[in-house]
Amino acid sequence: MTYQLTTLADVFNKVPADKIELCMAEIGLAMALAKATSIDLEVQMVWPEVTEWIDDGKGEVGFDLVDANGQNILAATITKEGK
C-alpha cells in the first residue's frame, strides 16, 4: 500500500494504527540521511511537500537528491541493519 503524506495529520488519518510507528521511523531515517547527505555535499536541501511512504515490509528507505532543474544528483536506498 502506498500513502501520499503531506502533514503529520495525514500520517494519523491515512496510515493504519499498527503501521504508524514503522512509517514514522522510515520517514525519519530518510530525513536524517537526506539532511546528512546535503551537509556532506554542501547543497541546500528542500524536503518535498508530499512524501510517499510505501508499506511493503522491505524495511528499505530511499531518497533522491534532485537539483533546482529537476535533474537527479543522487539516488540512495538504505536497508536498516538486521533486515
> Could you report the per-residue pLDDT of 43-69, keeping only the tens digit for each?
777 788 999 999 998 888 888 878 778
> Could you report the per-residue pLDDT of 11-49, keeping only the tens digit for each?
999 999 999 999 999 999 888 887 887 777 777 777 889
Q: Are 20 and 14 a contacting pair, CB within 8 Å?
A: no
- Residue 53 burial by CB count (10 A; 0-12/13-18/19+): exposed, middle or buried? buried
Question: Which pLDDT band, with edges at 50, 70 and 90, does 75 fall under?
Answer: confident
Domain spans, the chain: 2-79
